[in-house]
Amino acid sequence: MELSVTTSRTDDVSVVTVDGEVDVHTAAQLRQALDQEIAEGFVRLVVDLDGVAFLDSTGLGVLVGRLKLVRNASGWMRIVCSSERILRVFRITGLDKVFGIHESLDAALAA
């Protein structure tokens, strides 16, 4: 399955919407999109994973790495995810305690 990554902006927050599978073959595409937003000065990010069917450790590594970058720039990253399958990956790795995970884009933007 391919990966689609699109970005939009709400005020000074960049919303990165991800659809497909994030794995060793597609993680670079997600990394590039997030790095571009950060390079353009957007350090308040919402990553919408509701369209993601699969997320492996490579994808998690991209998210953790970019979280460190935005935190170093006094920013933040929030995750939108309502898929039990993907939420389970965050719970198993303990990353549900690291990321702010929200059930909807509106909830993530309001947090």
CA atoms within 13 A on the CB side of 27: 15
Q: What is the mean pLDDT of residues 18-34?
A: 97
Structure confidence at residue 17 (pLDDT) = 98
Strand partners, 77: 45
Output the pLDDT for position 73: 96
Average pLDDT along the chain: 96
Q: What is the pTM of this model?
A: 0.95
Q: Which domains does the chain have, with CATH numbers?
A: 3-101 (3.30.750.24)
Residue 64 main-chain phi, psi, to 5 deg: -65, -45
pLDDT over 80 at 56, yes or no = yes
pLDDT at 40 over 80: yes
pLDDT cut 70: percent of the chain above it: 99
H/E element, 62? helix 57-72
